[in-house]
Amino acid sequence: MRTQFYKMHGLGNDFVIFDERPALLPLTPTRIAALAHRKRGIGCDQLVTLGKPEAEGADVLVRFFNPDGSEAGACGNASRCVAALVAGQGGGAHPVLQTRAGLLPAHMQADGLVTVDMGPPRTDWQDVPLASAMDTLCLPLPGQPAALSMGNPHATFFVQDFSLLAQGYALEHDPLFPQRANIGLAIMENRSRMRLKVHERGAGLTEACGSGACAAVVNAVRRGLAERVCEVVLDGGVLRIEWSAQNDHVLMTGPVATTFEGTVDLAAFAS
């Protein structure tokens, strides 16, 4: 039996999306890793499932999985892709996604860009989480990154060049991060524009990380380096991030694209 999937991306951060609303699929961590494999599977930065929402006001339940099979509480670019997919299926221009990070309202812009309200950042050390009590604005690591949670753990290093990327995997697994962390390297161009590369937890370096962009802007504002509205230039393109002073929520806007749709025999991939 073959199962339908969608292949989408936001700024080159690419996703395989399965719809479990009609029926649950046998997607184990091992099978997810096999499907995500770039040479032996379909290939993606994250595998995403759509389910029936349980929360009032939500249009769809969304779960995100890394190519190592681990589950992530948030994925900004996949949220924007799913919002566009659901809107295109007749869900209207304002779909609401139910995720582990809460209800995320989305908005289809007239110019085709997609905005997702990623909710408020959480900056307490327990929320990131970190291994013990400490100031999340200045972690005791070389480079002194700032940390927060956007529903998933992020550490942002403010750097002059991207050489620290070579240590992305080691930093992701540093004992300071009991659930590992996404490692962002940000170069400030000015107070309204930064360049960013993210070594993603469970995925490695990707062309763009939406939640990483949100975290980088919030951390830059916390450090007094940026305005609340900031353009983030990633390898795959540009995201506009706004950290609202009104309600503390972070809004992320950028393009999405459908690459192709297909079917796959799930049983052919190791469970």
For binding to ligand LBFN2T5F (CB under 6 A), which residues are involved?
13, 45-46, 64, 66, 72, 75-77, 152, 182, 200-203, 206, 209-212
Identify which of residues 11 and 268 has a Cβ nearer to ligand LBFN2T5F in the complex. 11
- How near is the Cβ of 202 to ligand LBFN2T5F at its closest, in Å? 5
Q: Which of 44, 75, 81, 230 is catalytic?
A: 75
- How near is the Cβ of 66 to ligand LBFN2T5F at its closest, in Å? 5
Q: How far apart are CA 181 and CA 228, in angstroms?
A: 24
- How near is the Cβ of 76 to ligand LBFN2T5F at its closest, in Å? 4
Identify which of residues 122 and 191 has a Cβ nearer to ligand LBFN2T5F in the complex. 122
Q: How far is Cα of residue 266 from the mean position of the Cα atoms in its chain?
A: 25
Instruction: List the one residue out of 175, 173, 203 whose CA is nearest residue 69.
Output: 203
Q: How far apart are CA 136 and CA 127, in angstroms?
A: 10
Identify which of residues 92 and 178 has a Cβ nearer to ligand LBFN2T5F in the complex. 178
Return the structure tokens found at 50: 């759509």
- How near is the Cβ of 14 to ligand LBFN2T5F at its closest, in Å? 9
Q: Is 209 noted as a catalytic residue in this protein?
A: yes
Q: Which of 44, 209, 214, 230 is catalytic?
A: 209
Identify which of residues 36 and 60 has a Cβ nearer to ligand LBFN2T5F in the complex. 36
Q: Is 75 noted as a catalytic residue in this protein?
A: yes
- How near is the Cβ of 235 to ligand LBFN2T5F at its closest, in Å? 13
DSSP string, the chain: --EEEEEEEETTEEEEEEE-SSS-----HHHHHHHH-TTTSS--SEEEEEE---STT-SEEEEEE-TTS-EES--HHHHHHHHHHHIIIII-SS-EEEETTEEEEEEE-TTS-EEEE----B-STTTTT-SSS--TTS-SSTT--EEEESSSEEEEEE-SSSGGGGGHHHHHT-TT-TT--EEEEEEEEETTEEEEEEEETTTEE-S--HHHHHHHHHHHHHTTSS-SEEEEEETTEEEEEEE-TTT--EEEEE--EEEEEEEE-GGGS--
> Taking a C-beta distance cutoff of 8 angstroms, is the pair 51, 45 a contact?
no
Identify which of residues 51 and 191 has a Cβ nearer to ligand LBFN2T5F in the complex. 51
Feature table: binding site for substrate? 13, 46, 66, 76-77, 152, 182, 200-201, 210-211
Which active-site residues does the annotation give? Answer: 75, 209
